[in-house]
Chains A and B, each alone.
Chain A
Amino acid sequence: MATSSSAGHDAHGSGQATRRDFLYVATVGLGAVAVGATVWPLIDQMNPAADVLALSSTEVDLSKIAEGQGITVQWRGKPVFVRHRTEKEIKEAEEVPLAELRDPETDDARVKAGKKQWLVMVGVCTHLGCIPLGQQGDYDGWFCPCHGSHYDSSGRIRRGPAPLNLPIPEYQFLSDTKIKIG
């Protein structure tokens, strides 16, 4: 042992990697990979399980929602607001200058072309996840009672601690009176 280790030192002195260095790096490297491979399952088990991930979609019949009314449906365990907007609400939403918005997005980008009256969005406050209340707040839209976030008639954040607009889920019109979320 003594001789081989002193040989190692000599080799270091001359700037050459020894067999011992190689073994050392290889052992530690393999060990790190093994630890990582073992720890990952321990962490990943907490991510959504396959049954939770199995995508669900929800169909909504729009014919029963009168102008100025909205309903809340459940999708992936979350509330989705489907609102039939009035002319006034649409106009207000379109007239807001983008510079005034915290999370700038035009009203057009938040609805489907030709279906401006229908606003479909995930009803989860982008602050800390409460469900905002409809037809409330200072911007003719939604108000989150938890920490006081105000959303406008396009669901965009206007005032309060929330950083982002209410998200628009993926959805499509199956017919003029039916949408499919998800």
Chain B
Amino acid sequence: MSSSTPFQTNSKVIKWIEARLPIISTIDGALVSYPAPRNLNYWWNFGSLAGFMLVAQIVTGIILVMHYTPHVTMAFASVEHIMRDVNYGWLMRYAHANGASMFFVVVYIHILRGLYYGSYKAPRELLWWLGIVIFLLMMATGFMGYVLPWGQMSFWGATVITNLFGALPLVGGDIVTWLWGGFSVDNATLNRFFSLHYLLPFVICAVVFLHLWALHTTKSSNPLGIEIKGDQDTVPFHPYYTAKDAFGLSVFLMFFAYWVFFNPNALGHPDNYIEANPMVTPAHIVPEWYFLPFYAILRAVPDKLGGVLAMGGAIVILFFMPYLDFSKVRSAKFRPIYKQAFWLFVLDGILLGYVGAMPAEGIWILVGRIASVYYFAHFLVIVPLISWFEKPLPVPESIAKAVLGDAAKA
């Protein structure tokens, strides 16, 4: 790749290291000379933003642990202690709590980017699957983190979600008792969630590593959805995309800072500032906003096991995207009908999120059911049908031709 020169050095020290552990050339291959398509748009910024958020959560989280006490009698007070007494404790906690939301904003956009541009198609199936595994791990981490401050929403959210496993036939009840370590959510539950909340982000790091390994094997896709054909189609990651990612990061940080400094409790629930009380259920339990669409699907099914299966299926179905969509054309740019179906799907997801926040009464039950059916119909009916009958627009010959016009030399 002439536009992306492989790693070279004259330094004796670096040569010595390289002969024993080729770590410097590996980093160079991933972040400096990595040949990236020259036409990546801003939707490609969200991968590096997700990486940034993972690091930010780990740093603020490790700091919170220095002041937090995982015990039912002290957890709530220790979070208040962080907020009021610890130097900059309020900043660490608000950054961590809002950071979780930012992490999900970024990852949702990152996933939708993949759905729009067909990034899940061969040869990137494994890359896509690893991404969904990360998403699942994030959900588990976010859920268990929300339990730690031991407020009313923490407690009742934990109760409702762990009870989901009780829907499993035969073993359900035993599994729930096993998860709780008792007969209700209690100290044993808080302690194990704390342990796992600390662990899972590092498991995510490991899967992110595999995700990037797969990425550097297949190389990035791009808004045109056609493969890199030669050097003229790429630019080296550094300085082109390091600069673009840094710019994107600074814009994103402004957004993040708005929540942390000007509206730090907007994304949380006020009931979580009431200490957990196992004898009183709040009138209206809602999970964090990033779980709402899935919560709406859970409630749409009037049967316990059915609801749980539907909610799980809503995520599992993403794994099958590479096969449900068998159109030869990757990018929605050249798929006029798929493009519309994509945006309808996004609207459906937003509607589901809205329904998830509403009480399960009256009209919301019906709206939730229709939106849930549409969610699955999108994957199981609409996408396969479109792949079948849609006539895609002509796809350009190469990235360089499309981007540079005739100036591109073959």
Closest chain-A Cβ to B48's Cβ sits at a distance in Å of 37
Contact in complex: A130, B285 (CB < 8 Å): yes
A49 to B182, CA, bound (A): 7
A76 to B283, CA, bound (A): 23
Interface membership of A147, Cβ < 8 A: yes
Contact in complex: A146, B181 (CB < 8 Å): no
Q: A46-B192, A161-B301 are in contact. Are A130 and B279 (CB under 8 A)?
A: no
Interface membership of B117, Cβ < 8 A: no
Residues of chain A contacted by B299 (CB below 8 angstroms): 147, 161
Contact in complex: B182, A146 (CB < 8 Å): no
Interface membership of B272, Cβ < 8 A: no
Closest chain-A Cβ to B173's Cβ sits at a distance in Å of 11
Residues of chain A contacted by B179 (CB below 8 angstroms): 46
Number of B residues, CB within 8 Å of A? 36
Closest chain-B Cβ to A50's Cβ sits at a distance in Å of 12
Among B62-70, B159-167, B198-206, B250-258, the one that faces the other chain is B159-167
The residues in B between 153 and 209 inclusive whose CB is less than 8 angstroms from any CB of A are 156, 159-164, 166, 177-184, 186, 188, 192
Which residue in B164, B182, B281, B361 is a CB contact (below 8 Å) of A48? B182
Question: Interface 1/0s, chain A 113-135, versus B by CB < 8 A?
Answer: 00000000000000111110000
A127 to B163, CA, bound (A): 8
A43 to B175, CA, bound (A): 11
Which residue in B164, B188, B365 is a CB contact (below 8 Å) of A128? B164
Contact in complex: B304, A162 (CB < 8 Å): yes
Question: Interface 1/0s, chain A 48-74, versus B by CB < 8 A?
Answer: 110010000000000000000000101
Contact in complex: A163, B304 (CB < 8 Å): yes
A47 to B162, CA, bound (A): 14
Closest chain-B Cβ to A93's Cβ sits at a distance in Å of 23
Residues of chain B contacted by A131 (CB below 8 angstroms): 279-281
Interface membership of B307, Cβ < 8 A: yes
Given contacts A77-B186, A128-B166, A148-B361, 9 further A-B contacts (CB under 8 A): A48-B183, A128-B160, A130-B156, A145-B285, A147-B299, A148-B360, A148-B365, A161-B299, A163-B303
Interchain Cβ contacts under 8 Å between A and B, 20 examples? A43-B178, A46-B181, A46-B188, A47-B177, A47-B181, A48-B183, A52-B186, A77-B278, A79-B279, A127-B304, A128-B161, A128-B304, A129-B162, A129-B163, A130-B159, A131-B279, A145-B284, A146-B285, A161-B299, A161-B302
